[in-house]
């Protein structure tokens, strides 16, 4: 029986298949967050907060809705604000699109693991185990690329997101829980990508050694 760190191959495959399912779940949970960013606009008379998810901000006052409605009319007063609304949507769509492709790659990785766990001999030769790591790594690259695009398009920062009027100027926004969770998912996927590649390579090497030993015995 092939072992890595004294653990049998079927157990490792089961562990990694569970990790694949967790990754898929994490990415789906990301989309459910409605607080990816926030910003406070201030003047001598008021402070106005708004926050939002991947596609658009959500205002907390009539003032916000007032400018949101004027954006479609090319109102010069809120030109910078309107550009930000477009940036929120553009960045969010880019992130969601790349994340959906990432999900497809990770699902493919999970499929290959299940083929090996179920010992489907006719399919195992078509889908070598190392492809699991290749597909998962590709999914990670797509996911982190989407996150990087979102950060730069939306102009996300970590602190100091209170700005004076007017709204003709574009300002940075602060990241919130959704962006923080997405960062965690990227770190998680980075670690899993390298770990899975290392373990799958060891399992393949052990398999090659066992085949060589059996041939020499015969």
Query: In the numeric block, which tokens belong to residue 100?
Result: 């959906």
Burial of 40 (0-12, 13-18, 19+ CB in 10 A): middle
What is the spatial distance between Cα 80 and Cα 14, in angstroms, rounded to a whole number?
51
pLDDT confidence tier of residue 149, bands split at 50, 70 and 90: very high
- Asked if 86 and 122 touch (Cβ cutoff 8 Å), the reply is no
How does pLDDT run across 97-114, given as a tens digit for each residue?
999 999 999 999 888 888
What is the spatial distance between Cα 161 and Cα 151, in angstroms, rounded to a whole number?
15
> 202 or 23, which is more confident?
23
Longest dimension (CA), the chain: 89
Positive or negative CA dihedral for 57, 176, 91, 192? Answer: negative
pLDDT confidence tier of residue 159, bands split at 50, 70 and 90: low
The confidence score (pLDDT) of residue 217 equals 47
User: Is-cis flag, bond preceding 49, omega within 30?
Assistant: no
Residue written as token pair 């990508």: 193
Number of domains in the chain: 1
How does pLDDT run across 4-19, given as a tens digit for each residue?
556 666 777 788 889 9
> 126 or 4, which is more confident?
126
Three-class DSSP category at 50: strand
Apex 15 CA angle, 10 and 16, nearest 5:
100
What is the spatial distance between Cα 84 and Cα 88, in angstroms, rounded to a whole number?
6
CATH number reported for the structural domain that contains residue 156 in this entry: 1.20.140.150
* Predicted TM-score (pTM) of this structure: 0.78
Q: What is the mean pLDDT of residues 124-152?
A: 88
Identify any residues that bridge with 111 across adjacent strands, giving them in sequence order. Answer: none
CB atoms within 10 A of CB 113: 27
What is the spatial distance between Cα 15 and Cα 190, in angstroms, rounded to a whole number?
17
Query: Where in the sequence is the domain holding 93, given as residue range(s)?
Result: 3-217
Cα distances (angstroms) measured from residue 170 to each of 11, 39, 59, 156: 52, 12, 17, 12
């Amino acid at each position: 029986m092939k072992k890595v760190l004294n653990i049998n191959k079927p157990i490792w495959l089961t562990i990694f298949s569970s990790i694949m399912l967790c990754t898929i779940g994490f990415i789906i949970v990301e989309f459910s967050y409605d607080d990816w960013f926030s910003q406070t606009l201030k003047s001598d008379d008021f402070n106005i907060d708004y926050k939002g998810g991947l596609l658009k901000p959500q205002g907390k006052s009539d003032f916000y809705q007032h400018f949101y409605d004027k954006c479609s009319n090319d109102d010069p007063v809120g030109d910078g604000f309107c550009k930000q609304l477009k940036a929120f949507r553009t960045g969010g769509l880019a992130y969601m699109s790349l994340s959906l492709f990432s999900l497809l790659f990770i699902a493919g990785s999970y499929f290959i693991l299940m083929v090996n766990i179920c010992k489907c001999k006719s399919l195992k030769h078509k889908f070598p185990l190392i492809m699991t790591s290749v597909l998962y790594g590709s999914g990670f690259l797509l996911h982190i690329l989407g996150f990087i695009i979102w950060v730069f398009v939306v102009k996300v920062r970590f602190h100091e997101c209170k700005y004076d009027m007017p709204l003709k100027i574009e300002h940075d926004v602060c990241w919130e829980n959704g962006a923080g969770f997405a960062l965690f998912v990227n770190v998680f996927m980075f670690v899993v990508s390298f770990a899975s590649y290392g373990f799958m390579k060891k399992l393949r090497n052990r398999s090659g050694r066992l085949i060589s030993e059996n041939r020499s015995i015969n």
